[in-house]
Amino acid sequence: MNKLNTKAFIDETLKSVKLAVLATEHDGQPHTSLVAITPIEDCRRLVFATYRNTLKYQNLKDNPKVAVFINGMGNKESEVVLTAVGKAEDVRFSEKNKYLNAHRKRHPELDDFLNSSDCALICITIKLYQVVRGINDIIWWSIDESE
């Protein structure tokens, strides 16, 4: 699979999948959480929301390195599984409205949650994706390759 096809698989999967599994870590102990994701900036960033009083949020504060597992296997157009690797941080104030509006549009069912005073909007800046289309069809694709 060439770089353009790889990027097309990533884009198509991110457009079709709304939930993913976030992996965080604290003191060597992995922790996973189901999160509603919104791709931003041409697959370079993923946005999700969480309450600040969660283990997930505390783990992100202690160690912002994360992995996100995105299962696209149920999509007939894109039989693929992705792992996105990157760094998570609270959305900057200057970008908050843009990212919040995008996340709210993609997940209108989360409106009350997103309006909560304890809700934090998190942005993951992706460094690379692992694209898996089969047991022997695995590619690592760096965001830098798209430039």
In this prediction, the residues of the chain whose per-residue pLDDT falls under 50 are: none
CATH number of 3-146: 2.30.110.10
Per-residue model confidence (pLDDT) at position 41: 87
Q: Map residue 143 onto helix, strand or coil.
A: helix
Q: Phi/psi of residue 6, each to 5°?
A: -60, -45
Cα distances (angstroms) measured from residue 13 to each of 83, 108, 109: 11, 20, 21
Per-residue model confidence (pLDDT) at position 1: 54
Per-residue model confidence (pLDDT) at position 8: 84
Helix (H) or strand (E) holding 85: strand 81-90
pLDDT in tens, 51-89: 999 999 999 999 999 999 999 876 555 578 899 999 999
pTM as predicted: 0.90
Both ends of the chain: CA-CA distance in Å?
A: 18
Per-residue model confidence (pLDDT) at position 114: 94
- The structural domains of the chain, with segments of one domain joined by +, span 3-146
Q: Could you tell me which of 70, 26, 24, 25 has the C-alpha nearest to residue 46? A: 70
